[in-house]
Structure 1
Amino acid sequence: MLAYSTYSEAGGVGKTTTAANLAVAHARAGLKPLVVPLDPQDGDLSRLFGVDEDRTEPVDNLVRHMIRRPKGDFGDLVRTVEGVDVVPEHNMLSDVGEYLQREKDQAEAMGEAFGVHAQLLRVLREAGVPDEYDVLICDPPATEGPHLYNAIHATRSLVIPVEPSAKGRAAVEGLEALVAGLEEQLEVDVGVLAAVPIGFKNTRDQQTILGEIEYDIPEVIGERASLMEGCWMQQCSAFRYVREFRDRTRDYEVETLAQFDRIARHLEAAVGIEAPNPPEPGDLDHGVLSA
């Protein structure tokens, strides 16, 4: 199983759109992906895919499963969109740290162990996710805390969207220390599968910054603000947006889709997964997935 979290210390670098488009790229190739977004903010992956209508309702949700108080089966949480299974975010995520700490206190009072950073992994294992799915993608917030720690404990690998700027350089420079700290705190090995520069304009400074990144860079994505804003407006992936909502084909946008396809193949190859039906990169007619 391929498992990774999209993560960057810097906000606004396209972390969520990267997770969504890679998930669709995996699905286009015939794999079965599950996406677990963990960002308590409203502008999250559930919103992007249009499956967040129950986030304020008193319904079963992932947090209830993490604190061992589910109202139903894990599978009942899952929504499918564009061939991707998604566990929608819920407002309870805003207070997940408090919920987990209360459960830990109660467990310890009963003489039981309760690892606050291992509960997502427990939920996924008990639900049979490693056997049912080919790909697991977690999309935690940029800030450190229980959302991020549970995501990394569950996936053990990172895909890092990078802003090719001084801000992005600082985020990458701090990543090694962050990974080392996470490994020590969580007592797991954490690897970086790829860095994905986004918003590249091919300036001299940006070229220098890219040359300093020590992680694999399978693709460098250019400035695509209009495309990504369109995805949020229409609540869909870039693949669906270009196919259904653009009035004409723009070659540079099709090339961006091809890049997501190629990044997905790179990640799959990193763990020895061969997709059963990979498309020609950027082929809009391959494996068309409905909303």
Structure 2
Amino acid sequence: MLAYTTYSEAGGVAKTTTAANLAVAHARAGLDVLVVPLDPQDGNLSHLLGVDDDRADPSVDNIVRHMVNRPKGPFEELIVTAESGVDIIPEHNMLSDLADNLRREKEQAEAMGESFGVNTRLLSVLRDAGVHETYDVLICDPPATEGRHLYNAITATHSLVIPVEPSAKGEASVKGLESLVAGIEDTLDIDVGVLAAVPVKWSNTNEAQRVLDELEYSTPEVFRSRESLMNGCWRQQCSAFTYVSEHRDRTRDHELDTLERYDRLARHLEQQAGVEPPAPPEPGALEPEVTA
């Protein structure tokens, strides 16, 4: 199984759009994909893929309830299928109180002489549900802040994909992330691997190339800034693949190039985990195809 968390300490580096488009790229190749987004803020992955209608409904079952042993139904009923057959567990407003809920559950468990791992709850829920046997790919998308959301995501996946802006600010965020990962490894007693760094908003400048050259992580694909494409995805609540194929009246070579890069990056990540996609498309190929 390929499992990874998309994470960056810096905001505005397309962390969530990277997760969504990679999920679709994996699914396009015939793999079974589950996405577990954990961001309590609006404008999250559930919104991007158009499955966040119930996030404010207090009566709805959600992943937090399962993590604190208060489910309202079976795990399978949490899952919604989005575009290209990507399965997703929609985010819910209860994620805002995840840390407090985990703390209270830990206190109650300890009062009864029981253990409760606040950083391993997501992993336990996914294992109990047989996710690792059911799916080929698991992607977690926590908020861009350190805390229980991130710790649970990393414990569940043990691997990171890091979007990074090739600038001085982006370089600083990667260095901060290196320290964070080292601390998490010590705290959780696990090894955390970085499958790839994903340079975004690339510009062909000496400064950008310097940052790229000094990155310690593999950078299999580099993405230029595609503001119109990405803004369109958020507006239409879909991936870049769907936006180009269904919401553009003509093909744009630079956008097809972006889709190709997502497909190639997905193949690279799959190869890292030894996952063989059954039907990988030609990189960037559209169905149905957009014509000029």
**TM-score, scaled relative to structure 2:** 0.97
By how many angstroms is 1:5 displaced?
0.1
Does the aligned pair in 1 maintain the 2:123–2:152 contact within 8 Å? yes
Aligned ranges 1:35-50 → 2 under 5 Å: 35-50=35-50
Other structure's SS at 2:22 match: helix
Aligned residue number for residue 233 of structure 1: 235
In the other structure, the counterpart of 1:204 is 206
Matched residue SS, 1:115:
coil
Number of residues of Structure 1 aligned to a counterpart in Structure 2 = 288
Q: Map of 1:100-179 to 2, 5 A cutoff?
A: 100-179=102-181
Aligned partner of 2:69 in structure 1 is 68
Distance in structure 1 (CA, Å) of the matches to 2:189 and 2:106: 18
Q: Which residue of 2 aligns with 1:22?
A: 22
Amino acid in the other structure paired with 1:61: N
Structure-2 separation of matches of 1:56 and 1:138: 21
User: Contact 1:164–1:209 (CA<8 Å) still a contact in 2?
Assistant: yes
Matched residues in 2 for 1:174 and 1:69: separation?
35
Write the distance in 2 (CA, Å) between the matches of 1:131 and 1:274: 15
Q: Which runs of 5+ in 2 are unaligned?
A: none
SS at structure 2 position matched to 1:54: coil
Note if contact 1:279-1:286 (Cα within 8 Å) is conserved in structure 2.
no
Shift of 1:286: 7.6
Q: Secondary structure at the match of 2:200?
A: strand
For structure 1, the residue ranges without an aligned partner over 5 or more in a row are: none
Any idea what SS the aligned residue of 1:199 has? coil
Which of 282, 285, 288 aligns to 2:284? It is: 282
For the residues of structure 1 that align with 2:275 and 2:288, how far apart are their CA atoms?
20
Where 1:222 maps in the other structure, the secondary structure is coil
SS of 1:158 mapped into structure 2: strand
Report the 3-state secondary structure (helix = DSSP H, G, I; strand = E; otherwise coil) of the residue aligned with 2:201.
Answer: strand
For each residue in 1:239-277, what CA deviation from the matched residue of structure 2 results, as whole angstroms up to 9, or x when unmatched? Answer: 000000011100110010000000000000001111000
SS in 2 for 1:36: strand
Alpha-carbon distance between aligned partners in 2 of 1:141 and 1:167, rounded to the nearest angstrom: 19
Secondary structure in 1 matching 2:140: strand
Equivalent residues in 2 for 1:254-269, closer than 5 Å: 254-269=256-271
Q: What is the distance in 2 between the residues matched to 1:237 and 1:114?
A: 37
Give the equivalent residue in structure 2 for 1:193.
195
TM-score w.r.t. the length of structure 1 is 0.97
Matched residue of 1:221: which SS? coil
Displacement of 1:164: 1.1
* Structure 1 residue runs of 4 or more that deviate by more than 4 Å after TM superposition: none
Match of 1:95 in 2: 97
Per-residue CA shift, 1:102-128, capped at 9, x if unaligned?
A: 000000000000000000000000111
SS of aligned partner of 1:283: coil
The residue matched to 1:192 in structure 2 has which SS? Answer: strand
The answer to whether the Cα contact below 8 Å between 2:48 and 2:237 also exists between their aligned partners in 1 is: yes
Which AA in structure 2 matches 1:153?
Answer: T
The 3-state SS of whatever aligns with 1:195 is strand
Q: For 1:213 and 1:90, locate their aligned partners in 2 and report how far apart those are by CA, in whole Å.
A: 35
1:285 Cα deviation (Å)? Answer: 2.2
8 Å Cα contact 1:28/1:286 also seen in 2: no
Q: Equivalent residue for 1:245?
A: 247
